[in-house]
């Protein structure tokens, strides 16, 4: 008994002396999570929430193919999961959804649930936006105050704003291959545009924040957020590591800017 009491302060000392790098000190709002069908058998919702705990993920923007995965997670932790409606009933919809009236009917029906904060993440590229389906989706988004989460090139972002200047767009992967200057240009031009950095690693090479990216973060500290993108099941196990890598460059920014990018911007966009 006595020994146990003596050991306790020593254990506490060890915990507090753990390297700062491994501590999830910067909470994260993960703005790019999928919980799609292949994930369900491997990680039930309780396991997903444990991964979020391990990774220091406070809240997450979640979509899935089909949508039922999002609902299962949301039911388990409604305060933590921000649901968005993905317009894909199966992976097969990914390439053709923008021209498919049946997808529109599916979206309109599911939105009646009234829980969603966004539509996406969807894939849409320049030249694909001017269809009755996309025009109506943009209209619905404005009507219901939903964010469009678009995996798009720069052209499609511009086309969406031209189609309906009132839409709010969260630009998935910040265009994946658009550089910091191009991202800044679009953010300058469209006040209703936000960008998230899932999958990207060009912000920092060898752990050192790139100066052009730093300039972007300081120019638009209020409209950039982080995410991981669990687009295949294997990414779930690696998620805490991905976010630790993000924290390495986030820590090289002023604390206030780092907190905005890590979670405050997403909290503001998606509300409590």
Q: Are 34 and 255 in contact (CB under 8 A)?
A: no
* Distance in Å, CB of 91 to Zn ion, minimum: 12
* Helices 154-163 and 180-189, axial angle in degrees (round to 10): 10
Q: Which is nearer to Zn ion, 31 or 257 (CB)?
A: 31
Please say whether the beta carbons of 198 and 173 come within 8 A: yes
Q: Which is nearer to Zn ion, 174 or 253 (CB)?
A: 174
CB 107 within 8 A of CB 137: yes
Q: For the window 106-125, what string marks contact with Zn ion as x by the rule CB under 5 A?
A: ---------------x----
**# chain residues binding Zn ion, by CB under 5 A:** 3
The string over 228-253, giving b where at least 16 C-beta atoms fall within 10 Å of a residue's C-beta and e elsewhere, is bbbbebebbeebbebbbebbebbbeb
The answer to whether residue 30 forms part of the interface with Zn ion (CB under 5 A) is no
CB 214 within 8 A of CB 253: yes
CB of 223 to Zn ion, least distance (A): 19
In whole angstroms, the minimum distance from the beta carbon of 121 to Zn ion comes to: 5
- Looking at residues 127 to 186 of the shown chain, list those that interact with Zn ion (rule: CB under 5 A): none
Nearer to Zn ion among residue 40 and residue 135 (C-beta): 40
Q: Is 84 in the site for Zn ion (CB under 5 A)?
A: no
Q: Is 229 in the site for Zn ion (CB under 5 A)?
A: yes
3-state secondary structure string across 220-231: CCCCEECCCCCC
**What are the residues binding Zn ion (CB under 5 A)?**
121, 229, 231
């Amino acid at each position: 008994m006595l020994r146990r009491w003596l050991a306790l302060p020593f254990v506490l000392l060890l915990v507090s002396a753990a390297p700062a790098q491994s501590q999830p000190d910067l909470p994260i709002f993960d703005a790019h999570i999928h919980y799609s069908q292949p994930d369900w058998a491997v990680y039930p919702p309780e396991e997903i929430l444990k991964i979020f705990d391990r990774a220091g993920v406070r809240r997450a923007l979640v979509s899935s193919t089909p949508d039922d995965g999002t609902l299962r997670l949301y039911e388990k932790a409604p305060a933590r999961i921000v649901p968005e409606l993905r317009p894909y009933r199966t992976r097969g919809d990914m390439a053709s959804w923008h021209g498919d009236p049946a997808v529109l009917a599916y979206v309109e029906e599911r939105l009646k649930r009234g829980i969603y904060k966004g539509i996406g993440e969807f894939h849409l590229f320049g030249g694909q936006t001017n269809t009755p389906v996309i025009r109506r989706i943009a209209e619905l988004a404005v009507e219901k105050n939903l964010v469009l989460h678009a995996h798009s090139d720069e052209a499609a972002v511009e086309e969406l704003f031209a189609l309906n200047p009132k839409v709010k767009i969260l630009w998935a992967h910040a265009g994946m291959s658009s550089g910091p200057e191009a991202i800044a240009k679009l953010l300058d031009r469209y006040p209703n545009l936000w960008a998230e950095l899932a999958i990207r690693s060009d912000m920092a090479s060898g752990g050192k924040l790139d100066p052009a990216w730093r300039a972007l973060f300081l120019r638009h500290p209020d409209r950039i957020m982080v995410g991981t993108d669990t687009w295949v099941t294997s990414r779930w196990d690696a998620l805490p590591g991905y976010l630790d890598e993000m924290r390495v460059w986030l820590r090289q920014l002023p604390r206030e800017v780092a907190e905005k990018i890590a979670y405050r911007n997403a909290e503001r966009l998606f509300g409590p």
